Amino acid sequence: MKDKTLFVSGGTRGIGKAIVYAFAKEGCNVAFTYASSVDTANEIIADIKANYGVKCRAYKLDILEPNTYKDVYKEFDEDFDRLDYFISNAIISGRAVVGGFGPFMRLKPRGLNNIYTATVDAFVVGAQEAAKRMEKVGGGSIISMSSTGNLVYTPNYAGHGTNKAAVEAMVRYAAAELGEKGIRVNAVSGGPIDTDALKAFPNYEEVKAEVVRRSPLSRMGVPQDLTGACKFLCSNESSWLTGQTIVIDGGTTFQ
């Protein structure tokens, strides 16, 4: 991965931040997006440069306005001369998911549509722009982060779970059409991972306890548990793997 370039959406915390550091450690140049905290983004950039000596840049992105990806990529082109890997990771929370996060009988179209926009539409536009750049260097790897919430019932998660199922279907379609360009497209589906997003769940402690109970490994997943699969899917070791979803859940979907 040395001297290659990764672009990941939502890189200032949780899974996205773990991915940024994992790839930088391998000598990969890294670009990432942030929603609001430029100070946090700049701290990560300084830390990455100091510890790994790779190029690192950050760009502000509102994933509820997916077409603004095009403007972000124009900024990216000024800083980097190639793109090899794109990971769609950013999610929304808070007021934007009101009506999309809750019991079935409280779901509302606006909240559900916002989750679709940030999950599926944002993946599509981000991956389209990435593919244009990957084609120029002979191919690349695209990944969408997903969730086992589309496989196993999780209270209040219907809006997110159904949209994770949708983005996994979109991954398969993208893989079928981008393969001729030398671009592989896959998904990494994590079981409940201990992040700030999960801590925002009103029943966080209950969810955590259930995950620990279900997992044969008797622990909650952490962001770093997903980075190995991402590196594998971007490496030559997975050169004949596309259109797939790798589930990393500590065995919780089997119990």
Q: Which residues are catalytic?
A: 157, 164
CA-angle at 142, arms to 48 and 134, nearest 5°: 85
CA-angle at 248, arms to 245 and 249, nearest 5°: 125
Torsion angle, alpha carbons of 188, 144, 186, 17, to 10? -60
Residues 6+ apart with CB under 8 A from 47: none
Residues 6+ apart with CB under 8 A from 140: 83, 84, 85, 86, 130, 131, 134, 182, 183, 184
Count CA atoms closer than 13 A to 49's CA, side-chain side: 11
Residue 164 identity (one-letter amino acid)? K
Which tokens hold the place of 129? 């722009």
Task: Characterize 1-23 residue by residue with b for buried, 16 or more Cβ atoms within 10 angstroms of its Cβ, and e for exposed.
Answer: beebbbbbbbbbbbbbbbbbbbb
Do 204 and 157 contact (CB within 8 A), yes or no?
no
Question: Strand order in 183-190's β-sheet?
Answer: 56-60, 29-34, 5-8, 85-88, 140-147, 183-190, 245-248
CA-angle at 243, arms to 222 and 9, nearest 5°: 45
Residue 127 identity (one-letter amino acid)? A
